[in-house]
Structure 1
């Protein structure tokens, strides 16, 4: 069984299309699972939603997905004007049918991985889609965040940082970000984006487990032009990052 994990697409349809093409070249993908933050912030929220629906991809609820349903929730996350305005803009682009589809996202999703045990997927942590689990997060804090989960493989997103971590015998995987991969994890500072899209493939065969973190280089010019053609309030920052 081969499962592809994607996360934090953030309305970047060019990056998502590139990742899906790379999955085809890798071959043998049985299921794609998205770990949240699907359509917000980027220039192409509607195209991203349509593409995910087309590939029948189950999704976990991310914080930016939740912001689309609750206008006030974002103030627990940021007070940066252009981010709040970008969320409002993305909400206005999506149809009610798109919003209803996103309303069915899982808070926690469990998938049986053959003899390797179960994969449990969430966005930040099972407690909150705004929690951060990093390679440097203290063991005691990880224990608090994942308490009560019995899966052998835990998959999270949110940080935009690829990670594979062994924690008390379990594997914790973050596939990184498809649409906005960060060079480093920052709090309350503007991140620098990298020139690729990130995702991961988990393979389970006869009890043998493999994890592959993949990076796919992107057409920055195409993303620059997509941002330029958009009226998204984050347009200027995206153009600068893709220039």
Structure 2
């Protein structure tokens, strides 16, 4: 079984279309899974929602999906969530909120956005000197305690950082990276940034092994018209987003 893994589109329909076209050229997948945070961002939330609705993918709810669905907006909402909320209907926002926190893809594969029991806490990351880096193995193990040991693969997003971690006597964690937001800053204490280091749209493919064959994991980076996305962010008054879309970094 071949599973395509999409995560953290953040309203970037240009990057989503590029990833889907690349997947088509590679022969497609038996199943495509969306790990959430689909529309939040100063780009094309309405168009992205429509594209995903037509695809009808198995999808888990991300923290920004939950925040976009909040009603009414208040001063605690991030600007990207407000931008998306203002451009979606109440029905569309409720569709986002109704998505599950976790989703069993097969009896051996589970999908979630951040952690299996929380949509906003990092699973495989920690913050060092204002940067996201890989967390110690012991910390990752603790965060996975709630996970049924029957799962041999855990698909997650949220950090926007591609990761492949085999937990000894535990699952393989696969984060494909972000399709539509290659860098972000988070002012929540402790403030930090996440940087993929390039503007490419990221997604993944997992091929489940059978008859004694190993599972295969592919982390894929696709070029697309990131300059058009950056200009859209600038028009929405978000120059920091534009810089991240152009470079994959938040500064420098």
Query: TM tier, shorter chain?
Result: 0.7 to 0.9
Are 1:127 and 2:125 matched, yes or no? no
Q: Which moved more, 1:218-227 or 1:40-49?
A: 218-227
- Select which of 217, 224, 227 maps to 1:218: 224
Are 1:118 and 2:121 matched, yes or no? no
Q: What corresponds to 1:68 in structure 2?
A: 68
Q: What corresponds to 1:93 in structure 2?
A: 87
Mapped partners of 2:116, 2:73: distance in 1: 18
Mapped partners of 2:204, 2:53: distance in 1: 20
Q: What corresponds to 1:50 in structure 2?
A: 50
Q: Within 5 A, what are the aligned runs for 1:1-243?
A: 1-70=1-70, 84-112=78-106, 118-134=108-124, 136-149=134-147, 150=149, 151-169=151-169, 170-182=171-183, 188-192=191-195, 194-207=198-211, 208=213, 209-228=215-234, 230=235, 232-234=236-238, 236-242=239-245
Mapped partners of 1:49, 1:132: distance in 2: 25
Residues 121-170 of structure 1, C-alpha deviation per residue, up to 9 Å, x if partnerless? 11110121111123632222222211132210011111010000000242
Mapped partners of 1:178, 1:44: distance in 2: 14
Cα gap change, 1:242 to 1:3, in 2 (>3 Å): closer
The unaligned stretches of length 5 or more in structure 1 are: none
Mapped partners of 1:166, 1:127: distance in 2: 20
Select the structure that is richer in helix.
Answer: 1
- State whether residues 185 and 192 of structure 2, in contact with CA within 8 Å, keep that contact through their aligned partners in structure 1: no
Aligned length: 230
Cα gap change, 1:28 to 1:224, in 2 (>3 Å): closer
The unaligned stretches of length 5 or more in structure 2 are: 126-133, 247-252
TM-score in terms of structure 1 length: 0.84
| Cα RMSD, aligned residues only | 2.6
Cα gap change, 1:95 to 1:137, in 2 (>3 Å): same
Mapped partners of 1:65, 1:215: distance in 2: 24
- State whether residues 38 and 48 of structure 2, in contact with CA within 8 Å, keep that contact through their aligned partners in structure 1: yes
